[in-house]
Amino acid sequence: MSNFVELDEFKQQVADVYSHRSNNYDEGDFHPRLAHRLIECVGIYKGQKILDIATGTGLVALEAAQLVGSEGKVVGVDISTGMLDQAKRKIEAAGLSNIELRQADAENLEFDNSFDRVLCCSALPLITNLQATLRLWHRFLKPDGLIGLCVFAETAFITGVVLQKVAQRYGVSLIFNDLTGTEKKCCTLLQQAGFKDIEIKTEQYGSYISLSAAKKSWEGSLKYPLCRPLAQLSIEQLQQAKADYFTQLEALETDKGIWNDITTFFVLGRKKAG
């Protein structure tokens, strides 16, 4: 596994945040469910070669490796050394020898067109030039190969939705799931990158969360890379924004808690021959 890649300030922050999260990233069933469902949607078969981008702790890569068998191969790439270390431990524990891990930037990869599947589960908001990156990934596929993406609607994750609205009041623009926020946007993205036969499966993973849990997200949000624009606010503005944030969350509380929508799109596209 390669252990060095040059990253700009934003991507280094992403790498650091996810390395910090690596020890508990697999807790609960949310991330494993998404990974498993993405694999179900694309279909993976013995002997195939799979590229898993933003592999994280290897949730997609490990399941894919078991499906392709010894005749196949999985390459998992990520910029976070902490996540890759977790993936490596899991691979060794599973006794798998058909997975290669690389520390690499998803927007600056170099592969030939040898993959049957290119997969990316829930990492697209962190891609800085999404359209160019999807065209790059298109090149890595064999003719008739499939890309499989797990992305979220613009209504997903209520704390982020509320934070965007609050930030806007202070002249700060936060971009989360906006580029993949609707089925139409997902379809257009893939079409512009050269993919055909686009299919989108829409599923709901939402649940009610407590007001206290929602409020706790404020401090974590300030450390999240996509919330960097909030740093332009003064201390006084941040305190007022926090109060506004809490007020809006309180207005959403019901006797069941706050509904946390997680509308999820599993997006498939095919690379046509020629």
pLDDT of 149 > 70? The answer is yes
23-51 pLDDT, tens digit each: 999 999 999 999 999 999 999 999 999 99
Q: Residue 1's pLDDT is what? A: 57
pLDDT of 237 > 90? The answer is yes
Residue 35 structure tokens: 């990974």
Residue 22 structure tokens: 């690596």
CA distances from 90 to 30, 86, 94, 104, 138 (A): 18, 6, 6, 19, 29
Whether the predicted model's global pTM rises above the 0.75 cut: yes
- Gyration radius (Cα) of the chain, Å: 19
53-90 pLDDT, tens digit each: 999 999 999 999 999 999 999 999 999 999 999 999 99
Instruction: For residue 132, give the nearest of 179, 191, 193 by alpha carbon.
Output: 193
Q: Residue 5's pLDDT is what? A: 81
pLDDT of 107 > 80? The answer is yes
Q: In sequence order, what are the residues at sequence separation of 6 or more whose Cβ sits closer than 8 angstroms to the Cβ of residue 13? A: 225, 228
pLDDT of 274 > 90? The answer is no
Q: Which domains does the chain have, with CATH numbers?
A: 9-157+177-208+259-270 (3.40.50.150)
Q: Summarize the confidence of residues 251-260 as an average pLDDT.
A: 98
Give the position of tokens 């007001």.
211
Q: Residue 6's pLDDT is what? A: 86
Contact 20, 82 (CB under 8 A): yes
Q: Residue 3's pLDDT is what? A: 53
Q: What is the mean pLDDT of the chain?
A: 96
Q: Summarize the confidence of residues 237-243 as an average pLDDT.
A: 98
